[in-house]
Amino acid sequence: MVDRFGRTIEYLRLSITDKCNLRCRYCMPKDGVTPVSHDDILRYEEITRLAGIFAHLGIRKIRITGGEPLVRKGVCDLIGRLKSVNGVENVSLTTNGVLLRELAQDLKAAGTDGINISLDTVNEETFRKLTGFDGLPQVMEGLKTAFDRGMRLKINCVPVWGINEGDLCDIALFAKDRPVDVRFIELMPIGEGRGFTGISSNEVLYLLEERFGKSWTLSDRGSGPARMRSFAGFAGRIGFISPISQSFCSSCNRLRLTSTGFLKTCLYYAEGYDLKGALRGGASDEELARLITGAVKEKPAGHRFGEKKDAFEEKRMYQIGG
Ligand code: SAM
Ligand code: SF4
């Protein structure tokens, strides 16, 4: 699918739950969340059918996200099913890592092509303050298990003033002895994120260079919008994803499907398309395909964070999938 701005759309971020076993302060409200009823969540059969239609329309890469995708039972089976959908070339996962140690082997057996682990701190106290749980040792074990199993891993960190500015160099150190990418992602003013101040990519780079010396740009951008850099003596790479300070909307290739079957063409806007309603209302594959291609035609040019003009998305990140 090519949208009206000439962007080829081939990447689907697929949220399979809005439940999570952590409560990251910039993502989930601290006074709890209203759980979505089980019936409102797309079943795996429905997801697989939609994946077939998306793939027929040109989606080649699917990333499973949430909430925390590993808390939904049968996630490895789903990955296996998606891997066998004609046209889907890559199925990956974004996780907080808490359940990774238990599931790493099954994820590998299911054919998972890559795992992004969200890790904002390596300090147990900061982890507890940020997420509400004492889960850091579990995450570290999960990371090690997945690495030892030879899985393709990336570490994603959202730098936030007042939360993890003192941890960023230690997070970067994961790329020192291992050939993994560590990526710093700018906080977006969505949901709870609006109550915090993100640390910009340039500010993170400054902090890293103070500790590790000058870095240099790598011509390979890595997958997606990350700008990759290298530091002397590092086996892995350091990436910067800068939706706020250096928007990459002009090359955006993605769609998002929430766990309730709501199709979003841009993270910023509240608008979307009720695929679940159409699917459960008896729509044929052709009708669903028309709905999706119609949505892609309307994909906005880009987000408007920073302009504070229109009422943008009220959903939280855990409801959208990041
Ligand atoms: N629970 C999984 C995890 O944490 O990796 C998957 C879902 S989570 C919503 C996906 C990613 O979104 C995480 O890396 C998280 O740090 C990031 N995220 C959450 N809120 C954000 C915000 N306001 N701006 C930027 N990234 C955000
Ligand atoms: Fe859960 Fe991920 Fe949101 Fe943290 S960022 S609360 S782990 S969904």
Ligand 2 pocket, Cβ-based, cut-off 6 angstroms = 20, 22-24, 27-28, 66-68, 96, 118, 317-318
Given a contact cutoff of 8 angstroms between Cβ atoms, the answer to whether 168 and 207 are in contact is yes
**Cβ count near 260 (within 10 Å):** 17
Residues ≥6 apart with Cβ < 8 Å to 277 = 261
Domains located in the chain, CATH noted: 11-320 (3.20.20.70)
**Arithmetic mean of pLDDT, 12-40:** 91
pLDDT at 32: 73
Residue nearest to atom 20 of ligand 1 (CA): 27
pLDDT at 271: 84
Ligand nearest the Cα atom of residue 20: 2
3 state DSSP class of 18 = coil
Question: In the predicted model, is pLDDT for residue 310 greater than 60?
Answer: no
Sign of the C-alpha dihedral computed for residues 85, 16, 59 and 62 taken in this order: negative
Out of 31-40, 109-118, 139-148, pick the least confident: 31-40
**Arithmetic mean of pLDDT, 182-204:** 95
Given 3-state DSSP classes, what are the helix, strand and coil percentages for the chain, each rounded to the nearest 5?
Answer: 35, 20, 50
Closest CA to 157 of 126, 117, 124: 117
pLDDT at 308: 58
- 112 C-alpha to ligand 2 centroid (Å): 20
Given a contact cutoff of 8 angstroms between Cβ atoms, the answer to whether 228 and 65 are in contact is no
pLDDT at 33: 80
β-sheet with 262-264: strand ranges across = 215-217, 227-231, 237-241, 181-185, 153-157, 114-118, 90-95, 61-65, 11-15, 254-257, 262-264, 273-274
pLDDT at 157: 98
Q: Cα–Cα distance between 47 and 43 in angstroms, integer?
A: 6
For residue 304, CA distances in Å to 110, 183, 246, 251, 308 come to 38, 23, 12, 15, 7
Given a contact cutoff of 8 angstroms between Cβ atoms, the answer to whether 119 and 83 are in contact is no
Given a contact cutoff of 8 angstroms between Cβ atoms, the answer to whether 303 and 252 are in contact is no
Question: In the predicted model, is pLDDT for residue 311 greater than 60?
Answer: no
202 falls in which pLDDT band (50, 70, 90)? very high
pLDDT at 168: 98
Question: In the predicted model, is pLDDT for residue 307 greater than 70?
Answer: no
Token readout for 231 is 């530091």
- 205 C-alpha to ligand 2 centroid (Å): 24
Closest ligand 2 atom to Cα of 317? 3
**What is the value of pTM for the model shown?**
0.95
Residues ≥6 apart with Cβ < 8 Å to 14 = 47, 51, 62, 63, 64, 65, 256, 257, 321
- 322 C-alpha to ligand 1 centroid (Å): 5
Closest CA to 207 of 177, 232, 172: 172
What's the whole-number average pLDDT of the chain?
93
pLDDT in tens, 115-140: 999 999 999 999 999 999 999 999 99
> DSSP character for 49?
H
**Arithmetic mean of pLDDT, 265-282:** 92
- 52 C-alpha to ligand 1 centroid (Å): 26
Question: In the predicted model, is pLDDT for residue 34 greater than 90?
Answer: no
pLDDT in tens, 62-115: 999 999 999 999 999 999 999 999 999 999 999 999 999 999 999 999 999 999
- 73 C-alpha to ligand 2 centroid (Å): 17
Q: Are strands 254-257 and 215-217 parallel, antiparallel or unpaired?
A: unpaired
Given a contact cutoff of 8 angstroms between Cβ atoms, the answer to whether 113 and 152 are in contact is yes
pLDDT at 27: 94
Q: Work out the angle between the directed axes of helices 136-148 and 100-110 (0-180°, nearest 10).
A: 30
3 state DSSP class of 251 = helix
**Arithmetic mean of pLDDT, 1-12:** 95
pLDDT in tens, 274-291: 999 999 999 999 999 999
258 falls in which pLDDT band (50, 70, 90)? very high
Closest ligand 2 atom to Cα of 94? 2
**Arithmetic mean of pLDDT, 290-298:** 95
* Angle, CA 187 vertex, CA 307 and CA 78 arms, to 5°: 115
Please give the residue that has the higher pLDDT: either 227 or 268.
227
313 falls in which pLDDT band (50, 70, 90)? low
